[in-house]
Structure 1
Amino acid sequence: MRLHTERLILRDFQREDTATVLAYQSKAAYLEHYERPPPTEEEARAFVDMLCRWAEEEPRSKYQLAITLDGGRVIGTCGVRKAAPGDTVAEYGCELDPACWRHGYALEASRKLLTWSFDTLGLQKLFALTRPQNLSAIRLAEALGFHRVEDGRYELTCP
């Protein structure tokens, strides 16, 4: 699967993406938003393997795509994940390499994915979960049209 924006390509993960994911998920700025130590190489491999398996499922219910820049370099991921293929509600999530923060990439990638999700998957509602201290994630959710329904939970209804 591939989606294109002006500056980015969103595509299914490949197992070769593991080293890049491990590198950005190990950065101190990234880890500020998670209550865990940096991932091991084995944990990063398991994460990317899971995303690759999701892309191979039939019927598919989870679309967690690599955000790529500069000839295919992975700079993060964004996705929508339904609990079951026929669901009309899904969870949205996005993460970026801290080196790519504040360039509008998360907003650009997310807008493309959300539009595609509502138009193609028949979704009626998305929800996003974040820590109340993650102000950047909250600002992104709000810029995408999500509304706070409780601490750490935001929802977006099909436009």
Structure 2
Amino acid sequence: MNIPELETERLRLRAWRDSDIEPYIEMCADEEIMRHLTGKPMTRQEGWRHAAYIIGHWQLRGYGHWALEHKESGLFAGRLGFFNPEDWPGFEIGWAISRPFWRQGLAEEGARRALAYAFEEMGREELISVINPENTASIALAEKLGERYQRDDEVFGHKVSIYGMSKRDWLAANKA
């Protein structure tokens, strides 16, 4: 499977490695990180299975969430990329950053590169972000990226807000 590698000033968006699984499991066990994603920390087994789900998405869809590598330290910094599994509201960009890398602008930096990839290289016409309505940090980031509130929905029994943007709007904001 050929997973493209993308880079930003501080990040490498790359295929997952065995060495990413342990820090990802730790990230999934962090109550504060998971509060808005699953509502509760994951067990070790759930974290491992979720990593397999993310990695498998690449095989099934040809795209997915990259592992984020902090270039300066070489450490796993989180995940970021695209989802659209069965019964999902649409082609989604999403992110989850490991706590040591919070408040450094890495999610925005990685998301901007991923958006360019989606619109310029994948030929996507629109995308969404599925966000817990209480996750003010992710809502602020989605809006900063140019996404706008579209509607409320329910995903796996959880109320969510759908934000989104079109390629036309992205081009207007980024090519002016």
One-letter code of the match for 1:43?
E
One-letter code of the match for 2:101?
C
Shift of the alpha carbon at 1:82? Answer: 4.1
Q: Which runs of 5+ in 1 are unaligned?
A: none
- RMSD value over aligned CA atoms? 1.9
CA distance in 1, matches of 2:130, 2:97: 16
SS class of match (2:22):
helix
* Bigger Cα displacement from structure 2, 75-84 vs 144-153: 75-84
1:68-87 matches, within 5 Å, as 68-69=69-70, 70-82=72-84
**Distance of aligned partners of 1:108 and 1:140 in 2 relative to their CA distance in 1, 3 Å threshold:** same
- Does the 8 Å CA contact 1:12/1:66 hold for their aligned counterparts? yes
TM-score normalised to the size of structure 1?
0.86
CA distance in 2, matches of 1:7, 1:37: 30
Higher RCO (CA < 8 A, seq sep 6+): 1
One-letter code of the match for 1:39?
M
- Does the 8 Å CA contact 2:148/2:163 hold for their aligned counterparts? yes
CA distance in 2, matches of 1:29, 1:122: 35
One-letter code of the match for 1:77?
R
Shift of the alpha carbon at 1:83? Answer: 5.3
One-letter code of the match for 1:73?
L
CA distance in 1, matches of 2:149, 2:19: 37
**1:4 equivalent among 1, 4, 7:** 7
One-letter code of the match for 2:44?
E
Aligned residue in 2 for 1:39: 42
Aligned residue in 2 for 1:92: 93
One-letter code of the match for 1:3?
L
- Please identify runs of 4+ aligned residues in structure 1 that moved more than 3 A: 34-37
TM-score normalised to the size of structure 2?
0.78
CA distance in 1, matches of 2:52, 2:20: 10
CA distance in 2, matches of 1:42, 1:149: 35
Instruction: State the identity as a percent.
Output: 25
- Does the 8 Å CA contact 2:55/2:65 hold for their aligned counterparts? no
**Distance of aligned partners of 1:13 and 1:36 in 2 relative to their CA distance in 1, 3 Å threshold:** same
**2:165 equivalent among 132, 138, 156:** 156
Q: Which runs of 5+ in 2 are unaligned?
A: 153-160, 172-176
1:25 lines up with 2:28 in the alignment: yes
Aligned residue in 2 for 1:48: 51
Shift of the alpha carbon at 1:66? Answer: 0.9
Shift of the alpha carbon at 1:71? Answer: 4.3
- Does the 8 Å CA contact 1:3/1:9 hold for their aligned counterparts? yes
Aligned residue in 1 for 2:157: none
